[in-house]
Amino acid sequence: MISEIFLTILLIGLIIKAVKRPHNFPPGPRGLPLVGYLPFLSSWDPQYPHRALQKMSKVYGPVTGFYLGTSTMISVCSHEAVKEVMLNENLNGRPHSSITLARNFGENLGIMFIMGQFWQEQRRFTMRHLRDLGFGKTSIEDQMMGEVGDLIKDIENKSQSDKDRVVDLKGIFQVSVVNILWAIIAGERFRRDDPKFQELLTANEQVFRAGDPVRGNIPVPAFILKHSRLVREFIGVKSEMTEPIKKFIQSTIDDHQLSNRSVDEARDFIDFYLNEMKKQKAENPYTTFTNNQLVATITDLFGAGAESTSGSIGFAMIHLIRNQEVQRKMQAELDQVCGEYVPTLNHRSSLPYTEAVLMEAQRCSTIAPFVVPHFAVKETKLQGYTIPKGSIVMLNLDAVLMDDEYWKEPEVFRPERHLNEDGTKVIKSDHFYPFGIGKRMCLGDSLAKNTYFLFTAALIKKFRFEPVQNEPLPTLDPINGFTVGYSGFKAVVVPRS
């Protein structure tokens, strides 16, 4: 009898929790006790969670509140609200989700998923030293151009070896991008066909393609995660997938530890970090500079940097294959400004049309439709609503970049929308921020922008890319994941004289 009364009270409590909402909570759909709105989310769009939330916003408004399991979720789908979140310190935390724990030794480490003073200290250190090592500077341009040259040779060989000049471009950009990043982090570069390297790239891609960016935020206790494959698969936690990457990073750190160098000769990011670890160990018993934190930081840089930059190049190439006239115009500009040379960073400011093409590809195919989830560290206001402390805030960048109230015919690929009337200048729009804004903004934006420009411009300058005859055009439908990816594609690649 007592247990029945207890169960009835518990049930009533759960029903009240599912139905009742905090004062001034944003409008949104109600869910069921315990699971919240989880079972119904995909009914809005079975394939893409970011589109599901966009459709929901058409009914409930740009700031929508609902529950997923026991988590309070706030979905944000307009420029004004997204910007307000990015600039609000109280909303600049990160949720501690099952996925982030599974990635990092069961702890919250790295840069992307930590917050507070720990995050400030680690982000500041990382940015300072990555800048010293050439992030966003012309000092690493030679090395980047070396990678561009190798990629051009690789594509040339593949094109020559096929009678119809058909080249499979799947995964081809990732190798070059990772080599640039890895040289800054670890001071070494790989041969393009190194099998160990290829394995690592595949594992990295799988990590980013696995997982659902919304369900992944459901806080599942570590012991359930560890023992239930079903739960792991449902929320997309595949910690075993990060193992090869972590092992690889750890062995590189071990090699650095063994190398016989003096403290003054820091060659790469790992050296700088090991120096700091040594210094802090002597002075600070509570130091946050640890071996596991270094592994997690590199996992973040490697993961965030490789997939997103190569994804952006891949999507730009698909847009250019689908829009042959745009490709011709871009080639005309590149020929006029760069003559017989491969485009360099010096040419960039004289190439407005090329710049507009790159911007338009990022607008139409954002690789981070959900940014990285934000988190309310305090109760705060957003567009007049009260956001409870502990809410997970999903920013829908895709909704901002495809908003038909701001971008006319947003589905149409039209680089001219980023140019002034006579096409001589790029117009900077405050609705265009593919790298985010505010303190959580991407820390690799300058490297990413340079890499994206140098590779895409060089490929279009050196080759003509055409659709393969009698085959469907390469698809722009993204592949889901924490960042979205492009599907592998083939093209007829003809060298330009």
> Is the distance from CB of 31 to CB of 38 less than 8 angstroms?
yes
How far is Cα 134 from Cα 450, in angstroms, rounded to an integer?
A: 11
Is 442 annotated as belonging to a binding site? yes
Q: In whole angstroms, how close is the CB of 469 to ligand HEM at the nearest point?
A: 31
Q: In whole angstroms, how close is the CB of 47 to ligand HEM at the nearest point?
A: 22
Stretch that binds ligand HEM, among 8-16, 18-26, 186-194, 365-373 (CB under 6 A): 365-373
Q: Which is nearer to ligand HEM, 304 or 492 (CB)?
A: 304
Which residue in the shown chain puts its C-beta closest to ligand HEM?
444
How far is Cα 434 from Cα 74, in angstroms, rounded to an integer?
A: 20
Q: Which is nearer to ligand HEM, 169 or 304 (CB)?
A: 304
Structure tokens at 251: 């062995």
Structure tokens at 286: 């509570």
Q: In whole angstroms, how close is the CB of 134 to ligand HEM at the nearest point?
A: 12
Output b/e per residue, 376-409; b: 16+ Cβ within 10 A: bbeebebeebebbeebbbbbbbbbbbbbeeebee
Task: Residue 80: name the closest of 441, 431, 439, 432 by CA.
Answer: 431
Backbone angles phi, psi at 76, to 5 degrees: -120, 120
Classify 203 in phi/psi space as left (phi over 0), alpha (psi -120 to 50) or beta: alpha
Q: Which is nearer to ligand HEM, 232 or 440 (CB)?
A: 440
Binding-residue total with ligand HEM (CB under 6 A):
27
For the segment 211-240, give every residue that binds ligand HEM (CB under 6 A): none
Backbone angles phi, psi at 166, to 5 degrees: -85, 130
308 binds ligand HEM (CB under 6 A): yes
Q: In whole angstroms, how close is the CB of 479 to ligand HEM at the nearest point?
A: 16
For the segment 155-214, give every residue that binds ligand HEM (CB under 6 A): 181
414 binds ligand HEM (CB under 6 A): no
Q: In whole angstroms, how close is the CB of 480 to ligand HEM at the nearest point?
A: 16
318 binds ligand HEM (CB under 6 A): no
Backbone angles phi, psi at 465, to 5 degrees: -105, 125
86 binds ligand HEM (CB under 6 A): yes
For the segment 436-465, give every residue that binds ligand HEM (CB under 6 A): 436, 440-444, 447-448, 452
Q: Which is nearer to ligand HEM, 316 or 426 (CB)?
A: 316
394 binds ligand HEM (CB under 6 A): no
Q: Which is nearer to ligand HEM, 112 or 337 (CB)?
A: 112
How many C-beta atoms surround the C-beta of residue 154 within 10 A?
Answer: 16
Q: Which is nearer to ligand HEM, 81 or 448 (CB)?
A: 448
**What are the Cα distances from residue 19, in Å, to 7, 8, 36, 57, 218?**
18, 16, 9, 20, 19
Q: Which is nearer to ligand HEM, 312 or 456 (CB)?
A: 312
Residue 485: Cβ-neighbour burial (10 angstroms; 0-12, 13-18, 19+) = buried
Binding positions for ligand HEM, rule: CB under 6 A: 86, 111-112, 123, 181, 300-301, 304-305, 308-309, 312, 367-368, 371-372, 434-436, 440-444, 447-448, 452
Q: Which residues make up each annotated binding site for heme?
A: 442
Q: Which residues make up each annotated binding site?
A: 442
